[in-house]
Structure 1
Amino acid sequence: MKTLIIEDEKAALRNLKAVINEVSAGLEIIGETDSIVDTIEWFQTHPMPELVFMDIHLADGSAFEVFEHVEVKCPIIFTTAYDEYALRAFHVNSIAYLLKPINRNDLQNALDKLETLCGTAGGQTPPFDFMKVMHELKKEESYKTHFLVPAKGDKLIPISVNDILFFYISDGIVKAVDRHADAYIFSQSLDELVELLNPRDFFRVNRQYLIAKKAITDVSLWFNGRLVINLKVPVPEKIIVSKAKVSEFKDWF
């Protein structure tokens, strides 16, 4: 895997290269830069590498400035002596954030993660859709995990998405029911909730119900090729999956 190293400390560079040699023979170091200016010039004059190791604090500023001048379309492993930039690193193709001095285990874990994401076993080139993979990971990070909902009086209380078994519409009002069968009023529409929640966990079975996978106890066959979903808590009415949605529901489940 063709690899670029961006590092301005000679001792750190020697250490990183030594650990790379110990961990992976599949990494081919094709370039080394030690400043923002040199790094920008390197990207502008060379083909895109398959992996970048990037120190954050360089002699002439923060390495994040590089992304203001060039579009880096490959996975990045950040290397730094500081830990306050981890969140920012995540937004620029970072697959790992390694604190110096870098050791064998940390690097191996980072490369294992890269292999899992992109299928790079045996030093093979990551597939072209790496950016799509990163986009999906970032999107998943943005899904709601908690909501603030009105309670009695003038209070708002936090509700964990993990506790919610289903959402439904009753007389034009959206409600959520949790694992204790308690109901809460939501201001969002079901359409809005579909966008806010992870589609791996929730499925819009019809116009009235949005259900969590973990809430399902079993599924009954119904008339005309439809299904009835049975949940762990009582529901106001039968939850019916139309014939047109049965295949999609089975694929989701």
Structure 2
Amino acid sequence: MKTLIIEDEKAAVNNLKTLLTDMAPQCSIVGIADSIVESIKWLQTNPMPDLVFMDIHLADGSAFEIFEHVTINCPIIFTTAYDEYALRAFKVNSIDYLLKPIGEKDMQRAFEKLRSFTKANPPENHSLSELIQSMNRQKQYKNYFLIPNKGSKLLPLPTESIACFYIENGVVKALTKENNTFIIPHTLEELTDDLDPAHFFRANRQYIIAKEAVKDMDYWFNGRLSVNLIVPTKDKILVTKSRVSEFKEWFGR
């Protein structure tokens, strides 16, 4: 089982190595990354591993930022000294959430969960990443948002009417295909988890765009893409160079 470790503490890396050697000899460590930047680079230039151990707090920020740049289609075991991110962790293929310091019982429990997952989803010549993708396809995504409107009323806003979500002055808003704007009581990170990835794409830190709202695209400086929607937006929507290939693949599905 090819295993990637994302961890910035040398002692924690050594502890994981020891635990894996003693308790999971089937795991072969194929890479170690100690930052968001290094993790993104590794995942973009190497085949997808079978398992990832990921510390949440890295030297250059939160590991959840990694998911804004690359898609990880394999089970993830999070390791952290904090427990406030447990719910969010289980939205991104997490098999378990281990609090440091990690001991043998913690590792044993994590691999029991992994075995339960594979037993409940027999491979049948499919990789774990394909099983995760299958689970994601079965996930229920939001079809409507309830928007506060005129005092005590709630306005149902169908996701199919939305051209994009964006953040302005710290407030998340939805822009509809009819050029109407609504405040959305969610973060862009939460929306990324709740929206069907077949129809919505996180273009950058400021925008999530709907496939059906894309009018055309322009090549931009430094290998980026500028995406134009069927309705005007306040800012130019740029897809970073590192995500252009992923965007093209998403748009062509």
With normalisation by structure 2, the TM-score equals: 0.51
Give the aligned partner of residue 104 of structure 2. Answer: 104
3-state DSSP class of the match of 2:14? helix
3-state DSSP class of the match of 1:44? helix
For residues 106 and 135 of structure 1, do their structure 2 counterparts lie closer, same or farther at Cα, with a shift above 3 Å needed? farther
1:136-180 per-position Cα deviation (integer Å, ceiling 9, x unaligned): 5x65xx9xxxxxxxxxxxxxxxxxxxxxxxxxxxxxxxxxxxxxx
Q: Report the Cα distance in structure 1 between the residues aligned to 2:137 and 2:27, rounded to whole angstroms.
A: 25
Shift, 1:22, TM fit: 1.5
Give the aligned partner of residue 156 of structure 2. Answer: none
Taking the TM superposition and a 5 Å limit, the aligned residue runs for 1:42-81 are 42-81=42-81
> Contact (CA 8 Å) 1:93, 1:131: kept in 2 or not?
no
Q: Report the Cα distance in structure 2 between the residues aligned to 1:135 and 1:79, rounded to whole angstroms.
A: 26
Give the aligned partner of residue 129 of structure 1. Answer: 131
Q: Report the Cα distance in structure 2 between the residues aligned to 1:103 and 1:27, rounded to whole angstroms.
A: 17
1:70-96 per-position Cα deviation (integer Å, ceiling 9, x unaligned): 000000000000000000101111110
For residues 102 and 134 of structure 1, do their structure 2 counterparts lie closer, same or farther at Cα, with a shift above 3 Å needed? farther
Give the aligned partner of residue 7 of structure 2. Answer: 7
For residues 22 and 81 of structure 1, do their structure 2 counterparts lie closer, same or farther at Cα, with a shift above 3 Å needed? same
Taking the TM superposition and a 5 Å limit, the aligned residue runs for 1:81-120 are 81-119=81-119
For residues 135 and 77 of structure 1, do their structure 2 counterparts lie closer, same or farther at Cα, with a shift above 3 Å needed? farther
> Contact (CA 8 Å) 1:117, 1:133: kept in 2 or not?
no
3-state DSSP class of the match of 1:32? strand
1:89-148 per-position Cα deviation (integer Å, ceiling 9, x unaligned): 011111100000111111111111111112489xx9536222323565x65xx9xxxxxx
Q: Report the Cα distance in structure 1 between the residues aligned to 2:64 and 2:129, rounded to whole angstroms.
A: 25
Q: Report the Cα distance in structure 1 between the residues aligned to 2:97 and 2:76, rounded to whole angstroms.
A: 9
For residues 66 and 125 of structure 1, do their structure 2 counterparts lie closer, same or farther at Cα, with a shift above 3 Å needed? same
The one-letter code of the counterpart of 1:96 is D
Q: Report the Cα distance in structure 2 between the residues aligned to 1:127 and 1:7, rounded to whole angstroms.
A: 21
Q: Report the Cα distance in structure 2 between the residues aligned to 1:54 and 1:117, rounded to whole angstroms.
A: 19
> Contact (CA 8 Å) 1:22, 1:104: kept in 2 or not?
no
1:34-73 per-position Cα deviation (integer Å, ceiling 9, x unaligned): 0000000000100000000000000000000000000000
Gap runs ≥5 in structure 2: 143-253
Tell me the C-alpha RMSD between the 2 structures. Answer: 2.3
The one-letter code of the counterpart of 1:87 is L
3-state DSSP class of the match of 2:13? helix
For residues 127 and 55 of structure 1, do their structure 2 counterparts lie closer, same or farther at Cα, with a shift above 3 Å needed? closer
Give the aligned partner of residue 34 of structure 1. Answer: 34
3-state DSSP class of the match of 1:128? helix
Question: Which structure has the bigger radius of gyration?
Answer: 1
> Contact (CA 8 Å) 1:55, 1:79: kept in 2 or not?
yes
Q: Report the Cα distance in structure 1 between the residues aligned to 2:98 and 2:137, rounded to whole angstroms.
A: 21
**Residue-pair matches, total:** 138
1:202-224 per-position Cα deviation (integer Å, ceiling 9, x unaligned): xxxxxxxxxxxxxxxxxxxxxxx
> Contact (CA 8 Å) 2:55, 2:78: kept in 1 or not?
yes
Shift, 1:21, TM fit: 1.2
For residues 78 and 118 of structure 1, do their structure 2 counterparts lie closer, same or farther at Cα, with a shift above 3 Å needed? same
Q: Which runs of 4+ in 1 moved over 6 A?
A: none
Q: Report the Cα distance in structure 2 between the residues aligned to 1:125 and 1:113, rounded to whole angstroms.
A: 17
